[in-house]
Every structure is written in C-alpha cells, then in structure tokens.
C-alpha cells in the first residue's frame, strides 16, 4: 500500500519584497487532520507564509497540497482544497450574513446551480454553531468585529476545505468564542493552520506548533517539544516559567526581561 502524501508540504519556500527576504527557505510538512499553531513575533513572516500557502502571493520553492503542486492547480481546485480567514476584513460588504456565508459554497456548485435545500440547512447549522443564526438576514456591515469574524469563519467552513488557514482569528473574538473556535477545530478531520499570539492557547489545543523568527523556521514539533524556556526567550525576548503537569497541557507564565 502506497504511503499517503502529507496534506501540506513546503520545500525551500522563500519570499522577498523590496526590502529583503521575509521567508527564508522554509521546509515543512503537515499531516491530515492536524491542528497546528503558527507563532512568532510581529514581522516574523506568519501572514506571508499563510498567503504563500493559499496562493495569494507567489513565493519561490515548492508548495504541495495532498501531493499536488499548488502552482499547477486551477483557482477553483485550490478553492476546493484551501479556505482562508484573513486578519483584516472588509467592513463594507453589501450583503446579508446569509448571502455572504453562502459564497463559501461556490466552489462546490456548478455553473448556474442553485443552493439546495440540504445546503440551506448546512448554512443554518454552521450559523447556529457560531452564534449567528439570529443575524441571518442582518447586513454584514452592521455586525460587530467579532460577529463579522465569525461570519468569515462560517464562510470558510462551508467551502469544505482540506486545509483551513486562519490568520490571527482570535484578534476580534471574545474569550468564549476563542475557546469555541479552537475546540471546534480540534475535533475536525481537516487540517487547520492558525496563527496565534497566545502561546497558552497554542499549547492547550494544538497538536503541533510552528515557531517562525525573522522569516525562518525556528522550530516545529509538539507543544511540549518547542514551547520551552530557551525557545521562548530566544524568539519572544521574555522569560517564562512552564508547568508541564497542568491538567490541560502546558501552562506558561511570562515575565519581562526588564521589569
């Protein structure tokens, strides 16, 4: 029996802008069904890496999704494989919540095909799970930042991707919905790559953690392997104490180097 290809494979992925390299020869593999945190200081390359994986920007090197070269795939095929939630959302989209999240079904629909009764039910189910069913007919522009972020998450889930990319989705979410999102992703069969600033949430929920620093892959492994005092001091420039016996995984207590 042939060995299954990793869900995501990056080989020597690099990206340069006018001011220099923002990604430096990244080699990485993510398996099917993993929840993976992407962490690093501001400017470490997290958004650039996510935008390279989803094809929004053209990096050099090889990016493969389920063994297929990303550059050889049509935009519709990519949309069936990868869904993305960016950290900056357009606040002036002139659609209701239902109309907006329904856009996530487009990769699955044929030309001129209408949304089925079953798909309508799926829309309402996702909206209910993310506390938006009562906003079904509300204009997206009238939602709060957190509600709008949850609508974008629902839209991405309706794509039924094999890889979900989320760029700091917790920025706009209250604590309840941060925990709900991570609990939800933890239970799914697709792979999720989520950039986070909260290392404790990464340690509590994620199967693997990627640490980026200055555009390079600093470390990659389980939370227990990579979220240690040395790595945190080197990358984030803070001291910490780590309780490895905390009931929900690691517990990290931070302190400034210069109080």
Residues in the chain: 259
DSSP β-ladder status, 208-213 and 35-39: parallel
Q: Which two tokens stand for residue 235?
A: 């990358």
Beta-carbon contacts of residue 236 (< 8 Å; ≥ 6 apart) = 41, 199
DSSP β-ladder status, 208-213 and 216-221: antiparallel
Q: At 131, is the secondary structure helix, strand, or coil?
A: coil
Instruction: Provide the pLDDT for residue 109.
Output: 84
Best CA proximity match to 127, nearest among 108, 114, 140: 140
Instruction: Provide the pLDDT for residue 1.
Output: 43
- Mean pLDDT in runs of 10 for the chain (259 residues)? 80 91 96 97 96 93 94 92 87 87 89 86 96 96 94 96 96 94 96 96 96 97 94 95 73 77
Q: Which two tokens stand for residue 53?
A: 């994986």
What's the pTM value of the predicted model, to 2 decimals? Answer: 0.93
């Amino acid at each position: 029996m042939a060995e299954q290809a990793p869900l995501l494979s990056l080989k020597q992925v690099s990206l340069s802008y006018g001011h220099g390299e923002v990604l430096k020869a990244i080699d990485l593999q993510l398996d099917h069904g993993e929840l993976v945190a992407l962490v690093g200081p501001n400017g470490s390359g997290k958004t650039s890496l996510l935008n390279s994986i989803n094809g929004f920007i053209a990096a050099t090197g090889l990016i493969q999704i389920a063994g297929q070269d990303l550059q050889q795939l049509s935009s519709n095929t990519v949309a069936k494989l990868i869904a993305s939630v960016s950290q900056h959302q357009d606040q002036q989209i002139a659609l209701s919540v239902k109309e907006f999240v329904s856009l996530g079904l487009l990769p699955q629909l044929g030309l001129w095909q209408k949304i089925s009764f079953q798909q309508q039910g799926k829309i309402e189910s996702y909206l209910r799970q993310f506390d938006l069913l009562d906003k079904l007919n509300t204009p997206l522009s009238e939602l709060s930042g957190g509600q709008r972020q949850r609508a974008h998450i629902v839209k991405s889930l309706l794509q039924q991707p094999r890889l979900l990319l989320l760029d700091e989705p917790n920025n706009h979410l209250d604590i309840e919905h941060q925990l709900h999102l991570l609990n939800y992703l933890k239970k799914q069969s697709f792979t999720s790559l989520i950039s986070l600033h909260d290392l404790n949430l990464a340690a509590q929920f994620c199967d693997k953690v990627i640490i980026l620093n200055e555009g390079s892959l600093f470390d990659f492994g389980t939370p227990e392997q990579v979220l240690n005092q040395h790595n945190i001091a080197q990358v984030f420039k803070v001291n910490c104490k780590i309780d490895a016996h905390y009931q929900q995984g690691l517990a990290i207590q931070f302190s400034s180097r210069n109080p």
